[in-house]
C-alpha cells in the first residue's frame, strides 16, 4: 500500500483530509473546509506544492 489521502466530515460538519503513510500512520492533517470541493482543492494543492517545498530546520 502507498500513501493515501482520506477525506472525511468532522463532528462540526466541516470537510477535512489527512495524509496517511503506507504503514497507516497519519503524517499530515488539514484545516476544516466548508465544502467537499474546497477540501479536494486543498489536497490538490498539497500534491502540487509539497514536492518543491523547502525544509525550514529550526533546530
Q: Is the pLDDT of residue 1 over 80?
A: no
Cell 470537510 belongs to 15
Cell 504503514 belongs to 23
Total domains present in the chain? 1
Task: Kindly state whether residue 15 falls inside one of the protein's structural domains.
Answer: yes
The helix (H) or strand (E) run that includes residue 48 is helix 36-49
Relative to beta strand 15-20, strand 26-29 is antiparallel
Task: Kindly state whether residue 58 falls inside one of the protein's structural domains.
Answer: no
Task: Kindly state whether residue 34 falls inside one of the protein's structural domains.
Answer: yes
pTM (predicted TM-score): 0.85
Residue 20's domain spans which residues? Answer: 4-47
The per-residue pLDDT for range 2-56, each reduced to its tens digit, is 999 999 999 999 999 999 999 999 999 999 999 999 999 999 999 999 889 999 9
Instruction: Give me the pLDDT at residue 17, please.
Output: 98
CATH of the domain at 26: 3.30.160.160
Amino acid at each position: 500500500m502507498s500513501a493515501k489521502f482520506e477525506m472525511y466530515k468532522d463532528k462540526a460538519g466541516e470537510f477535512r483530509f489527512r495524509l496517511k503513510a503506507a504503514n497507516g500512520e497519519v503524517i499530515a492533517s488539514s484545516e476544516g473546509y466548508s465544502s467537499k470541493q474546497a477540501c479536494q482543492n486543498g489536497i490538490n494543492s498539497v500534491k502540487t506544492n509539497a514536492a518543491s517545498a523547502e525544509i525550514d530546520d529550526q533546530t
